[in-house]
């Protein structure tokens, strides 16, 4: 597309260069007008040609946000599905059909991106709490297990009666 | 003491090992990121690829993609036509126009099998159907060749010619 644009630019430059006092005849003016029309037509075909995916700013923004969020471990499956559906439309040059999907994905991703710091903080705190609990488990086990074991041992033998063994006494 | 001290020491050691392993599993780690591309036959299996195809007739294959980059990636498979000795390398893509592009957004840890139908118009011997994997770089806003590719050598015969 950029090549086409540059060729249009070159044509326009040539046109401007060719306008000089020496070429003031009617024929030249007509030919210049024709050239201008051709150049404009070429430009219009460039505009109407299918847009590439990367030139769609909303699409690239969505991809960037999805990359950041997924890199932080956030689930973006729904948004990825929307983007994949949008790609199908964009490749078929149906921008109108792709736009609502891109808008929806962008809105969802933006909301998730705004909430990212608080989500990450909560996630880190939760993880820290679990790690702390796991680290404390051996010490707690060492202190409480014998006591609990003794309690259970005694509870299971609560109906036992202690009798004096006369034979042993003798 | 009801429970023997040695028994308690052994049990505590087991609990220590268990908690250390659990903590190790909880700490997030970044494995080596990679992308993968694979070529599968029409039925979606490895092997039994077509060796001779007829010019102008559709060839059905499947391309397998896997993303283990640790993040979502916008991937593109560029199907090109090369020949024996004229295929891409790990650093440079094949300098040929793409016959077909397959673009997909792939989540981390996910894989995808995409059916591809190709038509090669010109007959020739030892033609290489090349599948290059490209990734969109959101920072620069450009497609970047990943250095991953697959190729399949085929003999393309003219229509109506018996092999």
**DSSP for A118-130, written as a single string:** HHHHHHHHHHHHH
* A49-63 burial code (b ≥16 CB/10 A, e <16): eebebbebeebbbbb
Among B97, B112, B138, B140, the strongest candidate for a mutation testing the A interface, having the largest count of A CBs within 10 A, is B138
State the Cα–Cα distance between residues B90 and A121, nearest whole angstrom. 40
Complete domains list, chain B, with CATH = 34-157 (2.60.40.10)
Q: Which helix (H) or strand (E) holds B142?
A: strand B142-157
For position A115, what pLDDT does the model report? 96
For position B160, what pLDDT does the model report? 78
Answer whether B72 sits within 8 Å of A70, measured CB to CB.
yes
Backbone angles phi, psi at B99, to 5 degrees: -75, -35
For position A26, what pLDDT does the model report? 62
Residues of chain A with Cβ-Cβ distance to B27 below 8 Å are 131
For position B61, what pLDDT does the model report? 96
Spell out which chain A residues touch chain B, with contact meaning CB-CB distance below 8 angstroms. Answer: 53-54, 60, 63-64, 66-71, 73, 76-77, 80, 83-84, 87, 91, 127, 130-131, 134-135, 137-138, 141-142, 145-146, 149-150, 153
- Dihedral angle, C-alpha B15, B21, B26, B28, nearest 10 °: 160
For position A7, what pLDDT does the model report? 42
B48–A contact, CB cutoff 8 A: no
For position A12, what pLDDT does the model report? 40
- Residue B106 CA, chain-centre distance (Å), reads 11
Across the beta sheet with B124-137, the strand order is: B52-54, B142-157, B124-137, B73-83, B98-106
Report the residue of chain B nearest A54, measured CA to CA: B141
Q: Quickly state the pLDDT bin for B29 (edges 50, 70, 90).
A: confident
For position A49, what pLDDT does the model report? 36
For position B3, what pLDDT does the model report? 84
| pLDDT beneath 70: ranges in chain A | 1-51, 169-170
Helices B5-26, A95-156: crossing angle, 10 deg rounding: 170
Q: What is the mean pLDDT of residues B11-17?
A: 97
Report the residue of chain B nearest A67, measured CA to CA: B72
Tens digit of each residue's pLDDT (9 = 90 or more) over B40-65? 999 999 999 999 999 999 999 999 99
Tens digit of each residue's pLDDT (9 = 90 or more) over B95-149? 999 999 999 999 999 999 999 999 999 899 999 999 999 999 999 999 999 999 9
Residues B133 and B94: beta-carbon distance below 8 Å: no
For position A15, what pLDDT does the model report? 37
B115 CB-near residues (< 8 Å, 6+ apart): B60, B61, B62
Q: What is the mean pLDDT of residues B78-85?
A: 94
Q: What is the overall mean pLDDT for chain B? A: 93
A158 CB-near residues (< 8 Å, 6+ apart): none
A45: tokens are: 């075909």
Report the residue of chain B nearest A74, measured CA to CA: B71
For position A163, what pLDDT does the model report? 86
Task: Look at chain B and count its residues.
Answer: 163
* A124-159 burial code (b ≥16 CB/10 A, e <16): eeeeeeeeeebeebbeebeeeebeebeeeeeeeeee
Strands (E), B18-141: 34-40, 52-54, 58-68, 73-83, 98-106, 110-119, 124-137
Q: Percent of chain B at pLDDT above 90?
A: 88
Residues A90 and A98: beta-carbon distance below 8 Å: yes
State the Cα–Cα distance between residues B74 and B142, nearest whole angstrom. 11
A70, A137, A142 ranked by CB distance to B108: nearest: A70
């Amino acid at each position: 597309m950029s090549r086409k644009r540059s060729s249009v630019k070159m044509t326009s430059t040539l046109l401007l260069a060719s306008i000089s006092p020496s070429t003031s005849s009617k024929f030249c003016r007509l030919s210049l007008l024709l050239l201008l029309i051709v150049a404009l037509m070429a430009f219009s075909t460039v505009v109407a040609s299918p847009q590439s995916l990367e030139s769609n700013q909303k699409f690239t923004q969505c991809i960037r946000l999805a990359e950041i969020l997924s890199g932080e471990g956030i689930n973006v499956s729904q948004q990825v599905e929307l983007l994949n559906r949008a790609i199908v439309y964009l490749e078929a040059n149906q921008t109108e059909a792709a736009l609502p999907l891109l808008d929806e994905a962008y809105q969802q991703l933006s909301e998730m991106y705004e909430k990212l710091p608080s989500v990450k903080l909560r996630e880190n705190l939760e993880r820290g709490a679990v790690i702390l609990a796991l680290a404390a488990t051996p010490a707690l086990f060492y202190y409480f297990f014998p006591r609990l074991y003794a309690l259970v041992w005694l509870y299971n033998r609560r109906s036992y009666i202690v009798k004096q063994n006369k034979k042993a006494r003798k | 003491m009801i429970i023997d001290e040695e028994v308690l020491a052994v049990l505590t050691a087991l609990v220590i090992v268990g908690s250390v392993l659990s903590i190790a599993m909880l700490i997030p780690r970044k494995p080596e990121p990679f992308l993968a591309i694979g070529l599968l036959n029409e039925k979606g299996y490895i092997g039994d690829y077509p060796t001779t195809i007829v010019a102008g007739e559709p060839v059905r294959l499947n391309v397998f993609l896997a993303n283990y980059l640790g993040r979502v990636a916008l991937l593109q498979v560029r199907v090109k036509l090369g020949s024996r000795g004229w295929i891409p390398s790990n650093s440079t893509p094949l300098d040929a126009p793409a016959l077909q592009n397959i673009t997909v957004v792939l989540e981390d840890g996910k894989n995808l099998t995409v059916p591809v139908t190709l038509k090669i118009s010109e007959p020739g011997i030892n033609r290489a159907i090349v599948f290059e994997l490209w990734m969109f770089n959101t920072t620069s806003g450009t497609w970047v060749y990943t250095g991953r590719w697959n190729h399949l050598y085929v003999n393309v015969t003219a229509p109506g010619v018996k092999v």
